[in-house]
Structure 1
């Protein structure tokens, strides 16, 4: 199976990107699907892009399979959302490898504490837990993680 192509998201796709974001987020069971949530995510997309997000999508032959939002100035992986129809196919790992090429030395992210599947996956992918703090907008308790490239060559020397 060929992995989807990662490319910049386009403004004419924002409605579809917001739908994929909602489907991925609601698949966690932490928030129910709703028209209001979809409207909020669509508005947030434009707002976050204006505030510095670099937005990518995973394009599976014309279908948006995932979204990836990076805030490069702060080394933040802000959103990595895979549509439920594309979960379990290593797409998350593909997006994370792409992220590491964009931010090769260090990456920060936040993950909802109750989304255990996600934060355990990030830990398996080498992210280290730093702290917990509440999200002032949503009220969710967030686990903050950091990944830092190690210099394996110097570690291997005696």
Structure 2
């Protein structure tokens, strides 16, 4: 990472950029998963639900939004990187930030087909504790719950 990388709390004005990173990342990482919402619904969700009601962080470099982290209570709710910026250690920094913000532990859900994410979280000490058939998520995609405890 270059020295001008900044991890900072998200502002309302970041909602649009966060939604765009989410959309690009979801499409690149999960091409076989049918999204439950349109692009515009995702943009509205970030603007009216995610940013105002969750603890949101962005990774920014030279004014460009590269990644996002959303914490909701003990849940690591969202961690997405703009695809061209994967493999640079940015995800590691965002997970480390999440652990500092939630020192008592974290939990998260990811889709079972998302093998790169599963390996990433396991490498960071998360343990799979539950597998489901996806009946509780909007995409109806089999998922797995991970937990990290210090």
* TM-score, structure 1 as length reference: 0.83
CA RMSD after TM alignment = 1.8
Q: How much has 1:58 moved relative to structure 2?
A: 0.3
Count of aligned pairs between the two proteins: 144
1:71 is matched with 72
- 1:46-74, CA deviations, whole angstroms, 9 ceiling, x for partnerless residues? 22345x411111011100000111012xx
Distance, in Å, in 2 between the alignment partners of 1:7 and 1:27 is 25
Contact 2:109 2:143 in 1 (8 A): yes
- Give the unaligned 5+ runs of structure 1: 150-158
Name the SS for the 1:137 alignment partner.
coil
2:27 is matched with 26
2:50 is matched with 48
Between 1 and 2, higher relative CO (CA 8 Å, sep ≥ 6) is seen in 2
Map 1:131-150 onto structure 2 (within 5 A).
Answer: 131-133=130-132, 134=134, 135-149=136-150
Distance, in Å, in 2 between the alignment partners of 1:57 and 1:119 is 22
Distance, in Å, in 1 between the alignment partners of 2:99 and 2:139 is 28
Q: How much has 1:129 moved relative to structure 2?
A: 0.5
Contact 1:26 1:32 in 2 (8 A): no
Q: How much has 1:13 moved relative to structure 2?
A: 2.1
- 1:18-76, CA deviations, whole angstroms, 9 ceiling, x for partnerless residues? 0001111111123489xx632121122122345x411111011100000111012xx00
Distance, in Å, in 1 between the alignment partners of 2:32 and 2:38 is 12
Name the SS for the 2:144 alignment partner.
strand
Contact 1:22 1:37 in 2 (8 A): no
Q: How much has 1:111 moved relative to structure 2?
A: 0.5
Distance, in Å, in 1 between the alignment partners of 2:137 and 2:28 is 23
2:2 is matched with 2
2:124 is matched with 125
Distance, in Å, in 2 between the alignment partners of 1:9 and 1:89 is 21
1:61 is matched with 62
Larger radius of gyration: 1
